[in-house]
Amino acid sequence: MKKLINAVLLVVAVLTARVVHAQITDTEKYDEPYRLQTHFSPRAHWINDPNGMVYFNHTYHLFYQYFPGGNSWGPMHWGHATSKDLIHWHELPIALYPDSLGYIFSGSAVVDADNTSGFGKDGKKPLVAIFTHHDPKGEQAGKDNFQNQSLAYSLDEGYTWTKYNGNPVLKNSGIRDFRDPKVCWFAPASKWVMTLATKDKVTFYSSPNLKDWTRESEFGEKLGAHGGVWECPDMFKLTIGGRAYWVLTVNINPGGPNGGSATQYFIGQFNGTTFTPLDNKTRWVDYGPDEYAGVTWSNTGSRVLFLGWMSNWAYAGQVPTDKWRNAMTAPRQLSLNSVNGELLLCSNLVHEYDHIKQKEVTFGSKVLTGQKVKGLPHQYLLKLKANTAHSFSVTFSNSNDNQLVIGYNKAMNRFYIDRSKSGKIDFNPEFGKLCFAPRFSKAKISAIEILFDTSSIEIFADKGLSTMTSVYFPEKPLDQLQISKQKGGISQVKIVPLKSIWQKLAIK
């Protein structure tokens, strides 16, 4: 009887939340200071890692670490949003709530097309979420096994979820950091493979049915960066020149290239049991300070789509927004490229950004020789061409003289972002530090695409070979732009204004 009452209460809660949600999204303007206009952020409250990203029936699902009770990290839920085009998002009711096994930490979701799990019913394909149950009581009691892997499934295309009554499915034998399962289907052996962060390495498990898991191997104890704990790994296939490689990404906090959290990657081969990297160099998906916990969507075929949390654990809890805290990066398509025989991972904006592009403007010679442009839109794509025989920079500013500077330092052969004078920076001493990304391309001319938004900047240089993401918090919008004066650097400046992704939802 109690179970029945609980079930009825749950249904009422879900339906009420949906109605309330519909009212919220239809009237919300998403126009507060710092509200990103070309990225997903929740209407209110705290957000961290993207979770359970899966594409199904023409819909991209984005779940995320969410605390609906405030603007700081708290008992974790899976928030939920969907999109038809990766650009316009609709926030939906919370998908997974904490329960007696703990908070709902990060994880992934798959389409179980062959119903290997047996969760499918009446021909409906189940979507299965695999996540970490984090038991705060066990943690407080000083236990080592308070993180375990659990399942939930959906029979209505990802909109509502039922937790499996056999949870947890993968029990912890005593590793304090044992979390963030990312599951993919390994076709050659017809089995599921789970990539799990296990303290300072990744452990691979396999399963025929998502419920019974066998340990396969581990990777990385002495490879890559180890300045912090390994979290949120992912493994996916990319092809170049007709050859397929497996790419293993691992998020690490702290120990990123510019301090705090970041995503490193390894390119190699996976045979269903072990991952073998091509070399032992440390490389990063994004060299900026604000891409973390990035993982890819499942069920997108050969297109590999990546999304990160646009923040850094060094100051995520202190960034100066009121109603919500933190957001997601722009979705990116990943690919491999070879530079002098070295394989590198490239990130580029998904082409769906075309949906919000407005008319392109090319700036003339005055701007190229250092004249300041004023009255710019608050969100746009900036396209530059520059000669790397010279250093160059672009300063984004406002009439309060807040300045965000991005550029290229020839002597160091590095791109950089300087937000030390960008407005509010004193909430954390780390925030004002200069950030660098190596330039990998050997081409003389660098083509650089920049996604500029009200409080974030993302740089994709040389077709995404060098990528940097950074947030910033000006006193008022940075609506001016100035190119460095020295001759020979930047030779082309184009701007493509972007429509707000929230426009459709706002009441005029």
Which residues are known catalytic residues? Answer: 49
Q: Which is nearer to ligand FRU, 197 or 345 (CB)?
A: 197
* Amino acid code (one letter) for 470: S
Radius of gyration over every alpha carbon of the chain, rounded to an integer in angstroms: 23
Shorter beta-carbon distance to ligand FRU: residue 308 or 423: 308
49 binds ligand FRU (CB under 6 A): yes
Tell me, by CB under 6 A, how many residues bind ligand FRU.
12
Angstrom distance (rounded) from CA 21 to CA 25: 6
In angstroms, what is the minimal distance from the CB of 293 to ligand FRU? Answer: 5
Q: CA-CA distance, 98 to 78, in Å (whole number)?
A: 9
d(CA 339, CA 348): 17
Q: Measured between alpha carbons, how far is 367 from 487 in angstroms, rounded to an integer?
A: 12
Binding mask of the shown chain, residues 169 to 188, with x at each position contacting ligand FRU by CB under 6 A: ----------xx--------
**Contact assessment for residue 38 and residue 451, using Cβ atoms and an 8 Å cutoff:** yes
Helix (H, G, I), strand (E, B) or coil at 8: helix
Q: Which residues contact 230 (CB under 8 A, 6 or more apart)?
A: 177, 197, 198, 199, 200, 201, 202, 220, 250, 251, 252
Minimum CB–partner distance for residue 177 and ligand FRU (Å): 8
Within 192-211, the residues that bind ligand FRU by CB under 6 A are none
All residues at 6 or more sequence positions from 491 whose CB lies less than 8 Å from its CB, including other chains: 368, 385, 386, 387, 445
Running DSSP on this structure, what letter comes out for residue 371?
P
Angle at 276 between CA 295 and CA 132, to 5 degrees: 35
Residue placing its CB nearer to ligand FRU in the complex, 76 or 498: 76
Closest by CA position to 454, among listed 439, 474, 438: 474
Among 38, 65, 154, 456, binds ligand FRU (CB under 6 A): 65
CB of 296 vs ligand FRU, minimal distance in Å = 16
| Residue number, 130 or 505, with CB nearest to ligand FRU | 130
Sites for ligand FRU among residues 424-483 (CB under 6 A) = none
Out of 38, 48, 117, 296, the only residue in the binding site for ligand FRU (CB under 6 A) is: 48
In the complex, least distance from residue 471 CB atom to ligand FRU, rounded to whole angstroms: 16
Q: How far is the CB of 49 from ligand FRU (least distance, A)?
A: 5
Report the nearest approach of ligand FRU to the CB of residue 250 (Å): 11
- Interface with ligand FRU (CB under 6 A), residue from 232, 267, 381, 417: 232
Show Cβ contacts of residue 467 under 8 Å, excluding neighbours closer than 6 positions: 285, 286, 287, 288, 291, 332, 346, 347, 437, 458, 459, 460, 461
- Rounded Cα distance between 405 and 360, Å, is 22
Nearer to ligand FRU, 170 or 490 (CB): 170
Report yes or no: 128 and 152 within 8 Å, Cβ to Cβ: yes
Indicate the residue among 395 and 470 with the shorter CB distance to ligand FRU.
470
CB contact set of 415 (below 8 Å; sequence gap of 6+)? 287, 406, 407, 408, 409, 436, 437, 439, 459, 461, 466, 468
What single letter denotes the amino acid at residue 152?
A
By C-beta, is 82 or 132 nearer to ligand FRU?
132
Closer to ligand FRU by CB, 76 or 356: give it.
76
- 345-404 residues in contact with ligand FRU (CB under 6 A) are none
Site for ligand FRU in 87-146 (CB under 6 A): 105-106, 132
> Quick one: residue 422, left, alpha or beta (phi over 0 = left, psi -120 to 50 = alpha)?
alpha
* CB 136 to ligand FRU: min, Å: 11
Judged by DSSP in three states, 255 sits in coil
Question: Kind of pairing, strands 456-461 and 283-284?
Answer: unpaired
Which residue in 430, 508, 435, 423 sits closest to 474, CA to CA?
A: 423
CB of 179 to ligand FRU, least distance (A): 5
Closest separation between CB of residue 76 and ligand FRU, Å?
5
Q: Which is nearer to ligand FRU, 131 or 502 (CB)?
A: 131
- Binding to ligand FRU by CB under 6 A, coded x per residue (else -) over 278-317, reads ---------------x------------------------
Q: Which residues bind ligand FRU (CB under 6 A)?
A: 48-49, 65, 76, 105-106, 132, 179-180, 231-232, 293
